[in-house]
Structure 1
Amino acid sequence: MTTAKDLLIIAIEVDPSGPVGQGDLSLALAGAELIDLLGTRAVTLTGDRVLPAGDAVPEDRLLAEAVASLDREAPYETVDDWLWRRGRDLFAAYTAVLEEDGQLTRERRRRMSFAAPRTTVAESAARRRALHRWAADEPVILALAAAVGIESEQTEEEAVVTNDAVTTVLAAVHDAVMELEAVRRRRSFENAAFANVWRGA
């Protein structure tokens, strides 16, 4: 399992009906991928630029796709650009893979219900591992979860990340999620203003 998969399992398990949006999670999943690639030294950061650093291909299918998608020409891609490019529809990609692997299941609602099937986490070693990372207050998991609005009982002061490159990625995830929220609000205001124009016509 990877940090991205653990994060998705935690998001579904810990906050199944919470306000976490797919766009927010997609950005955080892209950040989780980058953190894992830093951990395996498949990439390095120079400032905020993501530089490929090795030829090894990860065993995980989605991480392998992430490596294959790296920009390998100078001036290289910024962390922010990576999050927005790689994060596009990443929630759907991870959900599909976890469902294929039997890690996620969709519970059917009662008959005559028009609600979408509820996604649940299957009991497995992967679930136990993800929840162990959460219960252990692992700083990276806590920070990624907090970026999308999932809070633990641990305070931010206790969740200390000491790796500068990882800190750079986490800060970029936080900023990207905030930017996405600002876009949502602006569109909401624009749509409301448009509706008011029509009502007054």
Structure 2
Amino acid sequence: MATAQRLSALAVVLGGEPRVEQGDLSLALAAAELIDLTEAQAVLLDGDRVLPAAPVRTGCPMLIEAASQVVRDFPYETVVGWLWRRGSGLARRYRAAAADARHVHRDAADAMGDWNDPVLAHLAAAAGMRPTPSDDTAADLDPDQIAILGETHQAVTQLAAERQRRSIERGPSEGILRGF
């Protein structure tokens, strides 16, 4: 099962506890796809750029779609650019795909055994599904995974800051409108 499918299955099992922000989950799912694409050598990382490489060989329709959306023109796309572009609405799409699958509960149960997988543990932490793993798990990650996970955590932090900014901007006007 692809990493993003496993992460999505974990989100289903947890049922939103703790409360998982869909934007955070979408960014983590985009990162999971990118990690799988690097492992399949369908893309290469050159610094912070995602370069197209070989065709992806997988039976996962979402991963095939992800590979088809890799920017193929110089200067290529940054990892963070990929996360934001590919991640847009991705949690909703994975949830819909999981709902269509008859075996979602079996996959979800299998995914629960994956908490010890360092990549999945870090992605789940980025999505807010669990605490950040200890630093010693980074020893089990390759440089591409570390780079992608680092960019993912930064993107999630930026998204949280944007949520807070919008909340602050809305706060006083909503209180006045409601008579508070």
| TM-score scaled by length of structure 1 | 0.82
The amino acid across from 1:144 in the alignment is: L
Matching of residues 1-201 of structure 1 within 5 Å: 1-14=1-14, 16-104=16-104, 122=105, 124=106, 126-134=107-115, 137-151=116-130, 155-160=133-138, 161-196=140-175, 198=177
8 A Cα contact 1:15 1:150, kept in partner: no
Percent of residue pairs bearing the same amino acid type:
40
User: Which 5+ residue runs of structure 1 have no aligned equivalent?
Assistant: 105-121
Q: Which runs of 4+ in 1 moved over 6 A?
A: none
Q: In structure 2, how many angstroms separate the alpha carbons of the residues matched to 1:37 and 1:174?
A: 19
| TM-score scaled by length of structure 2 | 0.90
The amino acid across from 1:147 in the alignment is: A
| Superposed CA RMSD | 1.9
For residue 155 of structure 1, report the CA deviation from its aligned partner: 4.4
For residue 199 of structure 1, report the CA deviation from its aligned partner: 7.1
SS in 1 for 2:45: strand
8 A Cα contact 1:20 1:148, kept in partner: yes
User: Which 5+ residue runs of structure 2 have no aligned equivalent?
Assistant: none
8 A Cα contact 2:56 2:67, kept in partner: no
Q: In structure 1, how many angstroms separate the alpha carbons of the residues matched to 2:152 and 2:133?
A: 19
SS in 2 for 1:150: coil
Q: In structure 1, how many angstroms separate the alpha carbons of the residues matched to 2:95 and 2:38?
A: 23
Larger relative CO (CA 8 A, sep 6+): 1 or 2?
A: 2
Asked which structure has the greater CA Rg, the reply is 1
Number of equivalent positions: 178
Q: In structure 1, how many angstroms separate the alpha carbons of the residues matched to 2:93 and 2:39?
A: 22
Q: In structure 1, how many angstroms separate the alpha carbons of the residues matched to 2:177 and 2:14?
A: 42
SS in 2 for 1:158: helix
